Amino acid sequence: MPIQEKDVVWIEEPELSFWEQTFLPAVAGGLKVAMQHTVAQRSVTEQYPEQKPDLPLHYRGVHRLNRDEQGRVRCVACMMCATACPAHCISIVAEDASKDWPDRDKRPQSFVLDELRCIFCGMCEEACPCDAIELTSIYDLTGQTREQMTFTKDKLLSIYDQTKDNPRDPVRTHRGRLGCASELERQPLSATSPKPPESPRAKKQ
Ligand code: SF4
Ligand code: SF4
């Protein structure tokens, strides 16, 4: 259906005065704003790395593989996280654990997570039936080679050791809520506490 003439709004180009045509008022206005910011000296740029970023509580950073009460890897090699991962960045090789660990059928012989491919969506954490894989608030992830950014089981376990006492970790990604970390009063990233908050899922176990 063609557009009706009455529905068309014609916009007239405004006529510029002599001074507006010289652009001097616009230049003066710009200089005024620049001077106001110079005098106020309000910095909006974070001076990283000297100044640590003020990240939101639901910021999802580097993964960790949790340990159980006996210090063993909590993962039972069920492959749920690898199946749920939309970026296909988790590779697990399972092995029989029943001989050494009577309470387990399987454990991961190798667990490799490619942090370069990861999109930090948190679906692995959500899919894990035993709270074995979680995301942390660690954000300064760097490496000089691809191999350094490919995290093995030992490296992921060492991140658990490093973050288990940080009250901001783990960053929970339950659907519809941010997780227990978001329910705490905002904590600085460097803050540590002897007791990490107990997760709602852990309470159920
Ligand atoms: S955070 Fe998302 S992309 Fe990264 S490993 Fe987990 S499921 Fe895969
Ligand atoms: S981390 Fe969790 S979901 Fe992934 S294989 Fe281990 S137990 Fe299964």
> Domain segments of the chain: what residues?
63-204
pLDDT, tens digit, for every residue of 9-22? 998 888 999 999 99
Amino acid 135: pLDDT: 94
Does the pLDDT at position 82 exceed 80? yes
Q: Which CATH architecture has domain 63-204?
A: 2-Layer Sandwich (3.30)
pLDDT, tens digit, for every residue of 112-159? 999 999 999 999 999 999 999 999 999 998 899 999 999 999 999 999
Give the number of the atom of ligand 2 that is nearest the alpha carbon of residue 79: 5
pLDDT, tens digit, for every residue of 83-96? 999 999 999 999 99
CB 122 near ligand 1, within 6 Å:
yes
Tokens of 185: 């009063």
Tokens of 183: 């329910």
Distances (CA, A) of 194 to 115, 134, 164, 191: 28, 19, 9, 10
CB 16 near ligand 1, within 6 Å:
no
Reported confidence tier of residue 174, pLDDT bands at 50, 70, 90: low
Amino acid 177: pLDDT: 46
pLDDT, tens digit, for every residue of 60-69? 999 999 999 9
- Closest CA to ligand 1's atom 6: 124
Amino acid 46: pLDDT: 83
CB 151 near ligand 1, within 6 Å:
no
CB 82 near ligand 1, within 6 Å:
no
- The pocket around ligand 2, CB under 6 angstroms, is made up of 75-81, 92, 127-128, 130, 132-133
